[in-house]
Amino acid sequence: MSADDKPGPVRPEWPLYEVFVRGKRGLNHVHVGSLHAPDEQMALHNARNLYTRRNEGVSIWVVRAEDITASSPDEKDPFFEPSGDKVYRHPTFYPVPEDVPHI
Amino acid sequence: MSGENIFTGMVEEHDGDERWAFGTGFTEALAGVDTALPEGVDGGELAQYCQMLGDDALVQAQRLSQWVTDAPELEEEVALANIALDLIGQARLLLARAGQADGTGRDEDAFAYRREAAQFRNVRLAAAPRGDFARAIVTLLALSSWRLALMSRLSRSRDPVLAAIAAKAVNELTYHREYAVSWALRLGDGTEYSRERTAAAVAQVWPDTGELFATHPVEARLAELGVGVDPGPLRAEVHDVLVQVLTAATLDAPAAFPESVLAGRSGDHGPELAPLLQEMQEVARAHPEATW
């Protein structure tokens, strides 16, 4: 282990990735968590090891966290509240045929 | 996907087995496999053979587990521990088969915890010192490439149990090799410093690779019967793989593997194995019959 003795150059911190997994019977990829990785391919490897090791998934997406544009918590009220009292926007006023799945 | 829990969609039918919150639908590798010994095979020899392949996996897994809490990143720690767990899974099945084959009915724990170092039959490379991360990657690259070549052939064994274990192992080892390759490329073709340390790792690992292709008499006889695999002829194939990877990683691959000499396979181990086993066996020996 002699190579271990001298300290190496300081390594910059790896970027953060968000992980989305599609379960076996799931229709959509679902956000399951985040991880650090040096690049996209290693992020996929890490996601496989961290989030599908209990047989959860059949497909994985990873995306750099900094590439996600998110709504701001401060703007929560003007952003979301106006939809709170408009129940008529839900498609619950129609009869849905029984053989239409996934609704 | 409906439901409050994001994992709802990840749940398979599990026949009322409620142990699993999510990630269900597991399969047993040996479900429905005939466990009778194949005709013309000596049970004692088959047991020895299962110990060789089982001990390779068990000892390598124990060595890999030493990265837990000590890997460069949490993510790599989980990855190495995952690989170790895959190997422990292979070891359990192989050692349990050894207990069936030799007629003692010993379970895998009896083999793992109740034998001394001299009774282990793993190749020396499996027990080789942990070293730095580069050495771990190069060791994993060599061992997984070799074991994958071996298990691919063993999946056509006349022993249905060995064939089933090998078939399961092939998928696992394909991933282990891919993981090792992706890191070998990044370390070798990374910075000047990472390249230097990876080249040093190749030099450390290479002397132990010769034994991977040494044929033990038991392996030769079982290969003759279509039950085992003679590792000798795998030499060229595995060398091609390593040359390809190391070249892509801008590293110099040695021209050939060293001469094949039996060592660990006949119980002749380096000084590393005994302390490694002592660590693995300590709790089981201090508290025999304990369960949790």
Average pLDDT for residues A77-101, to the nearest whole number?
76
> Which residue is closest to A58 within chain B, CA to CA?
B10
> Which residue is closest to A8 within chain B, CA to CA?
B193
Q: Nearest 5°: phi and psi at A35?
A: -160, 170
**How far is residue A6 CA from its own chain's centroid?**
39
- Chain A CB contacts of B201 under 8 Å are 3
> Which residue is closest to A9 within chain B, CA to CA?
B193
Residue A79 has pLDDT above 90, yes or no: no
Cα B251 to Cα B28, B131, B202, B244, B257, distances in angstroms: 41, 19, 9, 10, 16
Nearest to A50 among B25, B75, B201 (CB): B75
Instruction: Give residue A1's pLDDT.
Output: 44
Residue A96 has pLDDT above 90, yes or no: no
CB atoms within 10 A of CB B245: 22
Residue A3 has pLDDT above 60, yes or no: no
* B192 vs A55, higher pLDDT: B192
Tell which of A56, A59, A62 to mutate to test the B interface (max B CBs under 10 Å): A56
CB contact under 8 Å between B6 and A8, yes or no, is no
Nearest to B6 among A14, A32, A52 (CB): A32
CB contact under 8 Å between A30 and B73, yes or no, is no
Which residues partner with A62 through β-bridges? A19
Instruction: Give residue B2's pLDDT.
Output: 43
Instruction: Give residue B268's pLDDT.
Output: 97
SS3 labels along A30-82: EEEEEEECCCHHHHHHHHHHHHCCCCCEEEEEEEEHHHCCCCCHHHHHHHHHH
Residue A59 has pLDDT above 80, yes or no: yes
Residue-wise pLDDT tens digits, A8-36: 677 778 999 999 998 876 678 989 999 99
Angle in degrees, 0-180, between the axes of helices B273-286 and B43-65, rounded to the nearest 10: 100
CB contact under 8 Å between B182 and A41, yes or no, is yes
Q: Nearest 5°: phi and psi at B72?
A: -60, -30
- Chain A CB contacts of B179 under 8 Å are 45
- Kindly report the length of chain B: 292
| pLDDT, tens digit only, all 292 positions of chain B | 444 455 555 555 555 554 544 556 667 888 888 889 999 999 999 999 999 999 999 999 999 999 999 998 889 999 999 999 999 999 999 999 999 999 999 999 999 999 999 999 999 999 999 999 999 999 999 999 999 999 999 999 999 999 999 999 999 999 999 999 999 999 999 999 999 999 999 999 999 999 999 999 999 999 999 999 999 999 999 999 999 999 999 999 999 999 999 999 999 999 999 999 999 999 999 998 888 7
Q: Which domains does chain A have, with CATH numbers?
A: 13-89 (3.10.20.520)
Which superfamily, per CATH, for B40-286? Ferritin, core subunit, four-helix bundle (1.20.1260.10)
CB contact under 8 Å between A32 and B129, yes or no, is no
Number of CB pairs < 8 Å for A and B?
Answer: 84
Nearest to B78 among A25, A49, A55 (CB): A49
Nearest to B73 among A24, A31, A36 (CB): A36
> CA of B145, closest CA in chain A: separation in Å?
18
Q: How far apart are CA B114 and CA B292, in angstroms?
A: 19
Spatial neighbors of A4 by CB under 8 A, at least 6 apart, are B131, B132
Instruction: Give residue A2's pLDDT.
Output: 47
